[in-house]
Structure 1
Amino acid sequence: MSLSRLIIQNFRNLNAVDLELSHGFNFLVGENGSGKTSLLEAIFYLGHGRSFKSNVSNRIIHYDHDDFILHGKIDEAKHSWSVGLQKKRQGETVLKINGQDGNKIADLAHLLPMQIIMPEGLTLLNGGPSYRRAFLDWGLFHLHPQFYSEWTALRRLLKQRNAALAQVRQYQDLLHWDKELVKLTEKVSQMRVDYATKLSPEIEKTCQFFLPELEITAQFYQGWNKDQDYAEVLAQGFERDKGIGYTMIGAQKADFRFRANGLPVEDVLSRGQLKLLMCALRLAQGEYLIQQKQQQCLFLIDDFASELDLNKRELLTQRLRESQSQVFVTAITKDQLHYMDWQNNANDVLFEVQDGEITPC
């Protein structure tokens, strides 16, 4: 699937944008603050129902308007979808797919799988486990339809259990919660184990492509000792959980850990190597989705590629073109795009961005 048309109204400094997009590479060139990253943010919002920069919608809506509107046309080989999202200053979200109400953000996310590569994305490696869980769960969301409902039910049950911890006196009072919690936790964890096992070799191969001097390995941690029965873990941890007021151990603590030559990557890799590793992880996961579902994945690249040396830029371009993905790349000048050979590819489109105005070159 690819985004063939994008309409933006009142989104940050993008007041009125209507673009016909390439199914291949789309380049956005302009000075800092011109609106390049805002366009990537708008695409991300259309696919996720949220921003990668701010959780406060009032900061995204143009200051003299009451809402922003995003509209896109999504094309596949035999189908197309019209999608629209409106976010009001009061917080209300209106979402339509093919003109129909009653859809959820998850429905839209399935239509627009995307990976974003940006300098701030290093939290995937040096941030907390929640970033790596989100990375892993992205793939499960797109490859296993039942995962989203199971994980949503598990999070809801955890909230209920945490609330009950303040009211119960003995563990017997929690048993009816924990029997269901164990079932859901084991289902979610097994799906994560299976996916991580299949994805890890793809990650390691892609890391060798970008960082041949290092041996990168990926290992999934389910959130508790794999040799322990989760029902026993909950029973043994009751007094501790009751004392702190929440369930300390479980699938909500899972992690996907990366090592370089046997050591945690955040401890031994330079900033430049971490950037390459983050790029390799996003690329490997997007390519794996393409292989498994025969479905395009959008790649949003915000100024990151300009920080790579020439050889790595060419390697990144090669892999993206081979995957036949739809790609959006921002740069300050056209010279920074020379390594992507855009002038010799008829399907590539170049846009100039200036003060919120976007025009094809």
Structure 2
Amino acid sequence: MHIKHLNLVNFKNIDQAEIEFSQGINCLVGHNGAGKTNVLDALYYLSFCKSYFNSVDSQNIRHDEEFFVVQGQYLRNDENEQIYCGLKRSQKKHFKRNKKEYGKLAEHIGFLPLVMITPSDEQLINDGSELRRKYMDGVISQYDRAYLDDLLRYNRALVQRNATLKQMRESGKRDTSMLSLWDEQLSKLAHSIYEKRAAFLKELVPVFQKYYAYISEGKEEIAIEYRSHLHDGTLVDQLKEVWQKDVIVGYTSKGIHKDDLEMQLSGFPIKKMASQGQKKTFLIALKLAQYEFIHRHNGLKPILLLDDIFDKLDDARSNQLLKLVSEDLFNQIFITHTKESYVLDIVKQTGKAYKIIGVEGGQVKDLEEVK
């Protein structure tokens, strides 16, 4: 699977662009703020129906314009696929496959698998547990539609249970029958989600450790530990134990919405002790493991987006990463960088077909292509 052509109108700082891509490596070069990452974000939009960086769709419309259009032409399983996303201010977003609009955006997730690695991924290490849960959910949802459905249902039931708790706190009445109803629903959905998260991590972590060891040349030991209330038994029993506490605070204090991943380097939290290079290596290895995992389960090779990926990596780790992406496991790759000469050296080492694309001030132009 690969994207052949991208059409952008009023997307972020890009007024209009028509871009043809190589099936191998595509390098977008230009100064910081030129719009290179915006091109990658457009590709992410076409896979996930949203921006990687900004969840408010209208804020991705070019300044002083009224709409944006992102449209891509793909070759998937030897079939041509046209994906369209358009948005007008204050109106509903339209998302279409081959000119037919999706009933639900969730129906599209996983159709065009994609993995993006970007400097902002460091938030996965440094910020709160919500981002790490979103990471798990984003990967599993790409190949398991039932998981995404259960997750959406769980979140809706959680909203209802929290609303019941607040009503009970404000009224002083204890409607335990209603709480029991939500507890049963949450518990059933939570155990299905928990089991799939646990199975996902059991398969992912060894692959992640393999990639980290390769890039770092075995210099450090890393681990990821899954933390969940469901390690301690059924959720329905745990929810009953915290009824009084939950009424007082007005929200549900137990459940898979509190799950977390403990990321470790040499037995210590990576957030507290790792260098910038070690953190970046950790995240690259994690995303490459995600790539391999999706390929195993989906059967398609995801598109790989590497945004400013070589910054903060020493030469040894950069060279190891280059060897990895040169392998047949990886198909279409996008790389951004500020220096054309640097990326030329990179792509020539891989032996893959490549294209160099210049981006300046939101304008996009072809610079060089080798097939």
TM-score normalised per structure 2: 0.92
d(CA) in 1 for partners of 2:340, 2:311: 11
- Unpaired runs of 5+ residues, structure 1, are none
Helix, strand or coil: the match of 1:280?
helix
Helix, strand or coil: the match of 2:50?
coil
Give the stretch that moved more between structures: 306-315 or 156-165. 306-315
Q: Report what 2:51 is aligned to.
A: 51
d(CA) in 2 for partners of 1:147, 1:57: 25
Q: Report what 1:328 is aligned to.
A: 334
Q: Does 1:237 align with 2:242?
A: yes
d(CA) in 2 for partners of 1:343, 1:191: 39
d(CA) in 2 for partners of 1:157, 1:185: 11
Measured after TM superposition, the shift of residue 310 of structure 1 is 2.0
d(CA) in 2 for partners of 1:31, 1:309: 22
Partners of 2:310 and 2:318 within 8 A in 1: yes
Partners of 1:199 and 1:288 within 8 A in 2: yes
Measured against aligned partners, the alpha-carbon deviations of 1:121-155 in whole angstroms (never above 9, x if no partner) come to 10111111111111212221123221011111111
- Residue type at the aligned position of 1:341: V
Q: For 1:199, which of 184, 199, 204 is the aligned residue?
A: 204
d(CA) in 2 for partners of 1:285, 1:114: 10
d(CA) in 2 for partners of 1:56, 1:291: 32
d(CA) in 2 for partners of 1:282, 1:172: 44
Measured against aligned partners, the alpha-carbon deviations of 1:239-272 in whole angstroms (never above 9, x if no partner) come to 1111111111100011122211111111221122
Correspondence 1:161-200 to 2 at 5 A? 161-168=161-168, 169-200=174-205
Helix, strand or coil: the match of 1:247?
coil
Helix, strand or coil: the match of 1:143?
coil
Q: Root-mean-square deviation (CA), in Å?
A: 1.8
Partners of 1:12 and 1:61 within 8 A in 2: yes
Partners of 2:14 and 2:35 within 8 A in 1: yes
Measured after TM superposition, the shift of residue 284 of structure 1 is 1.1
Give the stretch that moved more between structures: 184-193 or 56-65. 56-65
Q: Report what 1:213 is aligned to.
A: 219
Q: Report what 2:3 is aligned to.
A: 3
d(CA) in 2 for partners of 1:297, 1:62: 28
Give the stretch that moved more between structures: 82-91 or 339-348. 339-348
d(CA) in 2 for partners of 1:23, 1:244: 54
Q: Report what 2:278 is aligned to.
A: 273
TM-score normalised per structure 1: 0.94
d(CA) in 1 for partners of 2:358, 2:242: 58
d(CA) in 2 for partners of 1:103, 1:201: 38
Measured after TM superposition, the shift of residue 214 of structure 1 is 1.1
- Unpaired runs of 5+ residues, structure 2, are 169-173
Helix, strand or coil: the match of 1:276?
helix
Correspondence 1:61-210 to 2 at 5 A? 61-168=61-168, 169-210=174-215
Q: For 1:312, which of 299, 314, 317 is the aligned residue?
A: 317
d(CA) in 1 for partners of 2:201, 2:308: 29
Measured after TM superposition, the shift of residue 319 of structure 1 is 1.5
Measured after TM superposition, the shift of residue 91 of structure 1 is 4.3
- Residue type at the aligned position of 2:224: A
Q: Report what 2:33 is aligned to.
A: 33
Partners of 2:323 and 2:350 within 8 A in 1: no
Give the stretch that moved more between structures: 146-155 or 259-268. 259-268
- Residue type at the aligned position of 2:354: D
d(CA) in 2 for partners of 1:299, 1:56: 24
Aligned residues: 360
Partners of 1:96 and 1:103 within 8 A in 2: no
Measured against aligned partners, the alpha-carbon deviations of 1:30-60 in whole angstroms (never above 9, x if no partner) come to 1122211111121122222222222333432
d(CA) in 2 for partners of 1:314, 1:137: 31
Helix, strand or coil: the match of 1:86?
strand
Measured against aligned partners, the alpha-carbon deviations of 1:53-93 in whole angstroms (never above 9, x if no partner) come to 22333432122321000101121233221110001111420
